A and B are shown apart, each in its own frame.
Chain A
Amino acid sequence: MSEVLSVLLYGLVQAAVLLLVALGFSVTFGLSGIPNFAHGGVYILSGFVCWYLLRKLGWPHLLAAAGGVAVAAVVGVLLYWLVIRPVRRLVLAEVIATFAAGVAMLELFRWMGLVTYEFNLPPVVAGSVTLGELAVDAHRLAVVAAAAGLGLLLWWFGRATRTGLALRAMAQEEYTALSLGIREDFMATVSVALGSALAAVAAVLVLPLGLISINLGYDAMLVALALTVVGGTERTAGLVLAALLLGVATVAASVVLGPHWSEVIYLAAIVAVLAVRPSGILGRLKELEERV
């Protein structure tokens, strides 16, 4: 019983981690249709920026985190205008260009030798909390709370703000949205910058659980892709459900079968969902397309 509860608790934490990591990619793709495969690069970049501001310049933790988010947003704007816009609407070219930009960022960090244990971030909340017989570090619980709060905030943003509504309009029917005066470039810039900023929020919350490891940039891409495919791009609820399923499944698999199996879960989920339900668990786009 205790083992089941442990798996569920750590599965919930893992789900929150996955959700945070995937939100930025999913929001950009869902709102503007841009597949920003530089997401993993921006995720690690913002971790290093936060580390530099915190450890080298001695900024307060919160200010350093805000600095990381701001730099990521600016990088998002540059990404759109320098990398994505020249190949806009050529979907394959968008994928290749953004993926190349992400790999270039990550390998640049590796070339710079940013690979040792000293590149770590402190937890947002220190100490541990005991839940029954199970102790868990407080930062993990903070990650769960942050993921839930951010999910709600994005849900509200998409429904209650003019920018959010405009972005959703662009995603649903681009030409109608343009005829209503919604500026395409501005909205696309906002969506990429917002996605990049969310990647940075994930970095300052998730990276303290481990360290700023370049390989986590590649893992972030895999996680983001898996959640977006499994959950679907239309509804945040789909993403949350996918995160819960994959989070618990990966923790259970690594405890029962061994740590290697967690990566297999992501790939198996992508293949299974694409084969059985191509729009994702809560998505309906493919069904509608087929009906039309």
Chain B
Amino acid sequence: MLRGRVLWVLASVALALGVWSPGARTAPVEPVVLGVPTALGSIEGADSLRAVQLAAEEINAKGGVRVGAVRRPLQVVSIDTREHEPGIPIHDALAALEKLLTERRPHAVVVGAFRSEVLLAAMDVVARYRVPYVVTIAMTPAFEARIASDPAKYRYLFRMGLQSEYFAGNLARVLGYVKSRHGVSRIQFVHQDVLWAKATVGFLETWARQAGWTVVSSDAYPTGATDFSASVLRARTGRTQILVPVFDMPQSGVLLKQVKGAQLPVAVVGFISPAVPATAWQAFEGAVDGMVQFVAEPGPLAVRALPKSVHFNRAYGQKYGEEMRMKLSGHGPGPSYDAVYVVAAAIERAGTLDPDRVADPVQRQAPGGVRRAAPGDRHQPGFPVARSWAAGGGVPGAGCGGRDPAARGVGPVSGG
């Protein structure tokens, strides 16, 4: 009898301990999974992934994301879509996206497509899987037009990065300033034969003709091209004064070398992705001299007027090393870093991971941080920055949007 009672007491104590023990009470906390399906072999894609990981670590260091009553850590999963490589078909990139969505089941996607062509094709896939998707690299304005055509279907899709119309508009303002200041009139466009660059140059060409420029030519090069002799020859015979490159491929840096080698009397004003990093002077062995590099996103440049951009540069340098920070690409990392914070905040506001309830707070989330909203569009970085290259390095301080004097001045860790 006594033995029975003892056993009963012991069993009760064991049961009570089992129920109240910390191990049993705290079931393993499932992470909030963020997917990054992009061209990881490109400098923009690789840097953006690193920026996402940095933001996720910062959020996790503060306890993670509050989902209802539970704080859950962020987990970043990625897949290389290889879409920046020549000859990779769109459906290969889509297959990679679907693989990530079905196998890793992310609660949200950030960075997203690298190529606009892939972004447009991915929209239906994202709508089918109902995953909040924040694109930060691909730039085509057709994205917004497609969303407007069926807002209910595409309610999970958002842009946090630059759109080519804004990019072209800001670049046009810079070119207009150069024209009025220096009296130049002959302009030549050289661009990559991809959707965003074609849209940008299409806009710029129309603007240039209306603004009284003589357009010498507009030369499209396939992705991966390394010989720009045709444009150099056209520039010489057409007496080009301003050469406007629009490229996101590493090979485009060769254009600067060829222009210098041919001693062309032109000013280069535009966007060449490999000429953005602070290490460009060394990488180009001085061939970048005189170029006005239109950066457009201050993510890779620490701008004092945007304290978060200074923090981002410092934190990035501490985590990945100063050399990696100096090589930060000009398009992608800033918005990608912000996108993680926006998604995390949206989940906290929704109090759930239900995509339908997360999508609305993402829509309402006011962008801030590394980028800043453009007037009239809360999802555009309105802080264009140019970096001029001269005398062995970047000339500091060139907020060139003209609408915000506070943009002038580059932060202490920018490296020029």
Contacts and interface: CB of A to CB of B under 8 A. Distances in A.
Contact of B233 (A10, A128, A262): A10
A100 interface: no
Contact of B230 (A13, A134, A215, A251): A251
A6 interface: yes
Contacts of B257: 137
Interface stretch (B152-160, B206-214, B247-255): B247-255
B226 A213 contact: yes
Nearest to B263: A135
A258 B220 contact: yes
B307 interface: no
A134 B236 contact: yes
Interface in A133-159: 134-137, 139-140
A161 interface: no
A269 interface: no
Given A128-B262, A139-B261, A251-B230, A116 B220 contact: no
A49 to B, nearest CB: 19
Interface in A1-31: 2-3, 6-7, 10, 13-14
B283 A117 contact: yes
B21 interface: no
Interface residues of B, number: 39
A115 B250 contact: yes
Interface in B207-266: 219-222, 224-231, 233-234, 236-237, 250-251, 253-254, 257-258, 260-264
A130 interface: yes
Contacts of B237: 2-3, 6
Contacts of A117: 250-251, 253, 274, 283-284
A7 B226 contact: no
Contacts of B258: 137
Nearest to B85: A110
A264 B28 CA distance: 60
A209 B225 contact: no
Contact of B41 (A115, A130, A215): A115
Contact of B254 (A118, A128, A209): A209
Contacts of A209: 226-227, 254
B24 to A, nearest CB: 45
Contacts of A210: 226-227, 251, 254
A211 B261 contact: no
Interface in A115-129: 115-118, 120, 122, 128
A113 interface: yes
B188 to A, nearest CB: 13
A187 interface: no
B254 A122 contact: no
Contact of A6 (B225, B236, B253, B283): B236
B262 A255 contact: no
A27 to B, nearest CB: 24
A136 B261 contact: yes
A6 B232 CA distance: 10
Given A117-B274, A128-B263, A255 B250 contact: no
Contacts of B348: none
A215 B233 contact: no
Nearest to A10: B229
Contacts of B228: 259
B375 interface: no
A222 interface: no
B226 A120 contact: no
Interface in A198-212: 209-211
Nearest to B255: A210
Of the listed residues B41, B46, B230, B254, the one surrounded by the most CB atoms of chain A closer than 10 A to its CB is B230
A172 interface: no
B46 to A, nearest CB: 8
A59 to B, nearest CB: 18
B230 A254 contact: yes
B253 to A, nearest CB: 5
Given A10-B229, A215-B86, A116 B250 contact: yes
Contacts of A122: 285
Contact of B262 (A136, A213, A262): A136
Contact of B224 (A3, A6, A215): A215
B193 interface: yes
B43 A116 contact: yes
B395 to A, nearest CB: 20
Of the listed residues B225, B274, B279, the one surrounded by the most CB atoms of chain A closer than 10 A to its CB is B225
A177 interface: no
25 contacts: A3-B237, A6-B237, A14-B229, A115-B42, A116-B43, A116-B250, A117-B251, A117-B284, A118-B283, A122-B285, A128-B260, A128-B261, A135-B261, A137-B260, A211-B250, A211-B251, A211-B253, A213-B224, A213-B251, A215-B224, A255-B230, A255-B233, A259-B221, A259-B230, A259-B231
Given A2-B236, A2-B237, 7 more contacts: A3-B233, A117-B283, A118-B279, A209-B227, A258-B230, A259-B220, A260-B193
The 3 closest A-B pairs by CB, nearest first: A137-B261, A210-B226, A117-B274
